[in-house]
Amino acid sequence: MNTIDIDVGGTFTDLVVNYNGKTLVKKVPTTPYDLSVCFSRVIEEGAHALDLKMEKLLPQTDIIRYSTTIAMNRLIERKGPRLGLITTEGHEDVILIGRGAQWIDGTRVAERRNLAVQKKPHPLVPREMIVGVKERIDSQGRIIRPLDENDVRQKVRYLTNKGARGFVVSLLWGFLNPLHEKRVKGIIRDEYKEFHIGYMPVVLAGEVVGKLGEYERTLAAILDAYLHRSMQIELSTMWDKLREKGYTKPLLMIQSSGGVAEVFRTTASRTYNSGPVSGLMGAYHVAKSLGFKNVVMTDMGGTSFDVGLVVEQSVRSYDFRPVIDRWMVGHTMIKTVSIGAGGGSIAWINKLLRNQVQVGPKSAGSLPGPACFNLGGTEPTVTDADVVLGYINPEFYFGGRLKLNKSRSLQIIRDKIAKPLGIEVEQAAEIIRRIVDGNMTSAIVKEVHLRGYSPEDFILFVAGGAGPTHVAGFKGDIKKAVLFPFSPVFCAYGSSTMDIMHVYERSKKITLSEPVTRQVLRDYVAFNGAVETLMEQAKGDLAGDGFRPEDAEFILELDMFYGGQFHVKRVLSPRLFIRSEEDVKAINDAFEKEFSEAFSPFVVNPEGGVFITSFILKAIVPGQKISLPTFALEGSDASAARKGERSVYWPEEKGFKTTPIYALEQLRPGNVVEGPAVAEAEYTTLVIPPPRRFFIDEHGLGILED
């Protein structure tokens, strides 16, 4: 199968092409003014490397998978349309009241500590654009107040006159009984038909998130409506260009749930954070093939540093309170952590903290980029520090296609950091590097410890163009770091390993085990009915995407809790349906095991009863997996890959030292390089400080050890 996988990052756009058994990778700078430009350019680069034109490559391509930062960028810029929110009368202020945590949702730790200046986020839908309509559905889905259609028409016209260019409909318990939400949409369609210039998009909250949580469900629907137009424009432009060049197969989007879905069946908010998630899924598949149980997946690009964990060969760790930007949503999102630490992260002096040097979270991005790019950057960045210290070769950056201006880096760091602190420029650069490495180490340690593990129990996977340059500084107590030939484009590689997957959720409370008596469930109709409903929806969507439902694998997860306790745990159900008391016991045992591992065996409370709150069904069509090759080990002598030497700064040596330079791609399986050394590749540079050791294993992977 011929596939193309593309990941658009804040600084670079990455490509992995699998064509007639050959795999190649490419990178181009991201074009934030129009992402379709870098999208087309990176495919052109891949086609050129295969001695083909796009018109020849694309018709022979079976699948294009795409992860993007469109949703994140547009939300940060707050460039969405003016929306109108229609809710149940009396509930107009839900998203404004929010929850107590709304003050700090999506903020950094440093911001949370200063509570005195905390403010709620500016609402995406202001109060004057929120109306309540006369209707009411109860918690059983029964209509207790019929929808007043005249009231709806009046409120819709009011919102239109106020400038609404899209509508969100979020009625109380609308996910249980969608009759009223659908009728409101029908009324809007009567008023503003598809062939009218004033056609209005309408998003129903019950279709976006089909489970409990009025606040989260409404916000998820608002985000979809807010991001819909900009994503539609970007993706339509990309799709048109693909069609012009002869591509006729599906364009698939990576989702934050860990799956892939056809672009026309993907909502905007579900693509949020799709790049880091695809990298984590790639780490999961590679770890499984290599037999690694616990892996810390890291990706240091130009803008951010992303961390995700594979624990016991599983990535089933979801955000307990998933937040997009400043907004809590009800989506299932695989947990990853991102901090502002990348090659383009800006170093600055915080005068409020006694002239303390800080790095990030602001980034120079791809335009203007670091000062050494010579594209107008006026702030010192991590990449500038790496150039000053000799780690990055200005003549070989990006394979030599982007020449760096070292004198510009020296000048910017001297003027902005060194002179104000009264230190030498090299010392300032070393401080920048040490701070950003420390920030990344802290992110890893915090994530591992919060999950109840120790860093020594993990292996580190290194990804991103800047990852190999800094891995020795951020791996901390983790003994082994693994580099891949495709490390600089690992997120794009990760998407190439992912399955087609749709996720369906539905809230339904079922008592699996009674409090006190511990009497187990005997009537299985409600449980099986909930699963069957989700399964029928999944089969219809898969058929609509062009897949055979009978080829799909269905996995059931359950949100469960003990009576009298706050914590809800998502559990992989060992049974898709309940047919007997043994099936109930199997589900109960699985919950007890996962709950005790996540929290503590001492808080297991079967006497309080066991309850199910939500059903989550995953419909998976397995994709094609890429297997890692195995090579015969050659000698340890790496001299054949040595390409020269240059002066490099080593804190361990307390200064600059003439250092051997190797061509990373020319190192052979079995070759060993002792630090201090630097190994250069087209899209990255590996820094090997003393006394660390680097070698190539039988799979062609690079291993950095203490």
The answer to whether position 377 is within a domain reads yes
pLDDT digits (tens, 9 = 90+) for 332-383: 888 888 888 999 999 999 988 888 999 988 888 777 889 999 989 999 999 9
pLDDT digits (tens, 9 = 90+) for 516-542: 999 999 999 999 999 999 999 999 888
Residue 558 contacts residue 573 (beta carbons within 8 Å): yes
d(CA 391, CA 657): 12
Whole-number pLDDT of residue 466: 94
What token pair was written down for 69?
């930062």
**480/528 same-domain check:** no
Residues in the chain: 706
d(CA 125, CA 82): 7
**449/317 same-domain check:** yes
The interaxial angle of helices 35-49 and 214-244, nearest 10 deg, is 50
**428/441 same-domain check:** no
Whole-number pLDDT of residue 346: 95
Residue 145 contacts residue 135 (beta carbons within 8 Å): yes
**350/426 same-domain check:** yes
Which own/partner pairs from 284-288 qualify as long-range (CB within 8 Å, at least 24 positions apart)? 284/310, 284/313, 284/314, 284/315, 285/494, 285/497, 285/625, 286/461, 286/484, 286/497, 286/628, 287/313, 287/459, 287/461, 288/313
d(CA 384, CA 432): 10
Residue 510's CB is within 10 A of a number of other CB atoms, namely 18
Cα 400 to the center of its chain, rounded Å: 30
**83/40 same-domain check:** no
**602/555 same-domain check:** yes
The answer to whether position 629 is within a domain reads no
Phi (first) and psi of residue 4, to 5 degrees? -130, 130
User: 53-62, 135-144, 495-504: lowest mean pLDDT where?
Assistant: 495-504
Q: Is the pLDDT of residue 411 over 90?
A: yes
Over range 186-201, report the average pLDDT. Answer: 77
The answer to whether position 631 is within a domain reads no
The answer to whether position 321 is within a domain reads yes
**479/353 same-domain check:** no
The answer to whether position 630 is within a domain reads no
Whole-number pLDDT of residue 43: 95
The answer to whether position 523 is within a domain reads yes
Question: For the chain, how many structural domains are there in total?
Answer: 6
The answer to whether position 40 is within a domain reads yes
**431/441 same-domain check:** no
Over range 670-694, report the average pLDDT. Answer: 95
Domain that holds residue 396: 345-435
Residue 302 contacts residue 340 (beta carbons within 8 Å): no
Q: What percent of the chain has pLDDT over 70?
A: 97
**316/376 same-domain check:** no
Residues 6+ apart with CB under 8 A from 306: 275, 276, 279, 297, 298, 299, 336, 337, 338, 464
In the structure, what pLDDT confidence band is assigned to residue 194 with cuts at 50, 70 and 90?
low
SS3 319: coil
What token pair was written down for 164?
């609404």
Strand order in the sheet with 553-562: 22-29, 12-19, 3-8, 63-67, 251-254, 260-262, 500-513, 610-621, 553-562, 569-572
pLDDT digits (tens, 9 = 90+) for 105-163: 877 766 777 777 778 888 999 999 999 999 999 999 999 999 999 999 999 999 999 99
Residues 6+ apart with CB under 8 A from 5: 15, 16, 17, 64, 65, 66, 492, 493, 495, 496
Task: Name residue 481's beta-bridge partners.
Answer: 460, 704
CATH number, domain containing residue 480 = 3.30.420.260
**453/306 same-domain check:** yes
Mean pLDDT of the chain: 90
Higher local confidence (pLDDT), 232 or 196: 232
The answer to whether position 357 is within a domain reads yes
Cα 59 to the center of its chain, rounded Å: 29
Whole-number pLDDT of residue 72: 65
pTM above 0.95, yes or no: no
HSE toward the beta carbon, residue 37, CA cutoff 13 A: 7
CATH number, domain containing residue 52 = 3.30.420.40
Residues 6+ apart with CB under 8 A from 588: 512, 513, 520, 606, 610
**311/376 same-domain check:** no
Domain's final residue, options 451, 466, 495: 495
**64/174 same-domain check:** no
Name the residue with tokens 């995700």: 308
